[in-house]
């Protein structure tokens, strides 16, 4: 079973290196993400992953990005459920509130 701790390091690396293009969101650089975490302005990635994986027990994580959307810091999490459905969740980076949970196209 995949646990947040077992995927933390590769996901953090992926988060820090990922670059996506979106007109409605700004992806944060790895330097920005590290600074925000050190300053306590965003929750640890591990904590957000626990929230996402609790919604879909047994799911496998595909991708995580930290974005700024309309002035709000958001972790975008993509995972595959045990039923093989790809879901995209957006979690508020400072509260862990689930802002969006939908099937990925």
Query: Whole-model pTM?
Result: 0.74
At 11, the pLDDT band (50, 70, 90 cuts) reads low
The pLDDT of 24-41, averaged and rounded, is: 89
Report domain extents, the chain.
4-103
At residue 17, the pLDDT reads 46
Q: How many CA atoms lie within 13 A of 98 on its CB side?
A: 16
Q: Is 49 exposed, middle or buried (0-12, 13-18, 19+ CB in 10 A)?
A: buried
4-103: CATH, from 3.40.50.720, 3.30.360.10, 3.10.450.40, 3.50.50.60:
3.10.450.40
At residue 54, the pLDDT reads 95
pLDDT at 47 exceeding the cut of 80: yes
């Amino acid at each position: 079973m995949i646990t947040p701790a077992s995927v933390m390091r590769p996901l953090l690396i992926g988060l820090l290196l990922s670059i996506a293009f979106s007109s409605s969101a700004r992806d944060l650089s790895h330097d920005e993400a590290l600074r925000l975490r050190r300053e306590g302005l965003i929750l640890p990635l591990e904590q957000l992953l626990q929230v996402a994986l609790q919604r879909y027990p047994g799911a496998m994580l595909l991708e995580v990005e930290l974005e700024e959307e309309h002035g709000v810091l958001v972790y975008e999490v993509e995972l595959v459920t045990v039923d093989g459905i790809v879901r995209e969740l957006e979690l508020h980076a400072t509260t862990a509130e689930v802002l969006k949970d939908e099937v990925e196209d």
